[in-house]
Structure 1
Amino acid sequence: MKLSSQLNAFQDRLGHTFDKPEHLIRSVTHSSMSTPHRDDNQRLEFLGDRVLGLVMSEALLNADPNAAEGLLAPRFNALVRKETCADVARQIDLGAVLKLGRSEMLTGGRRKEALLADAMEAVIAAVYLDAGFDAARKLIVTLWGARITDVEADARDAKTALQEWAQGQGEPPPKYTEIARSGPDHAPIFTIQAQLQSGASEQAQAPSKRQAEQAAAKALLARVQGETS
Structure 2
Amino acid sequence: MTGLKPETRGWLEATGFTVGDDALWLAALTHGSMGEKDDYERLEFLGDRVLGLSIAHWLYERSEAPEGKLAQRLNAIVSREMCATVARGIGLSEHMRISKQARADGGTDSDNILGDVMESLLGAQFLDNGFAAARDLVHQLWRPALESGAGESKHPKSALQEWAAGNRRKPPEYEVVERSGPDHAAQFTVRVKVHKVGEATATANSKGEAEKAAAKEFMEKFG
TM-score range, shorter chain: 0.5 to 0.7
Distance 1:158 1:41 in 2: 37
Structural mapping, 1:1-229, within 5 Å: 3-35=4-36, 38-64=37-63, 66-152=64-150, 154-156=152-154, 160=158, 168=174, 170=176
Equivalent pair of 2:13/2:19 in contact (CA under 8 Å) = no
Distance apart, 1:102 and its partner CA:
2.6
SS of aligned partner of 1:146: helix
Q: Equivalent pairs: percent with the same residue?
A: 35
Q: Which amino acid letter does the alignment assign opposite residue 42 of structure 1?
A: E
* 1:152 CA displacement: 4.5
The whole-number CA distance in structure 2 between the counterparts of 1:112 and 1:158 is: 29
AA matched with 1:43: R
Gaps of at least 5 residues in structure 2 are: 163-171, 177-207, 217-223
Cα distance in 2 between the residues matched to 1:158 and 1:39? 43
Aligned residues between the structures: 172
Moved more, 100-109 or 118-127: 100-109
TM-score (normalizing by structure 1): 0.66
Q: What secondary structure, in the 3-state scheme, does the structure 1 residue paired with 2:137 have?
A: helix
Given residue 69 of structure 2, which amino acid in structure 1 is its aligned partner? L
Give how far 1:168 is off.
Answer: 4.7
Higher-Rg member (1/2): 2
Output the CA distance in 2 between the equivalents of 1:91 and 1:123: 14
Write out the 4+ residue segments of structure 1 that deviate beyond 4 Å after TM superposition.
Answer: 155-159, 161-164, 166-170
Q: Give 1:153 shift.
A: 6.1
Query: Structure 1 residue 155: deviation in Å?
Result: 4.5
CA change 1:17–1:68 in 2 (3 A) is same
RMSD, aligned CA: 2.9
Cα separation, partners in 2 of 1:110 and 1:44, compared to 1, 3 Å: same
Residue 2 of structure 1 and its aligned partner are, at CA, apart by 5.1
Larger mean Cα displacement after TM superposition, 90-99 or 4-13: 4-13
The normalised TM-score by structure 2 is 0.68
Pairwise CA distance, 1:129:
0.5
Q: Is the 8 A contact 1:13 1:92 kept in 2?
A: no
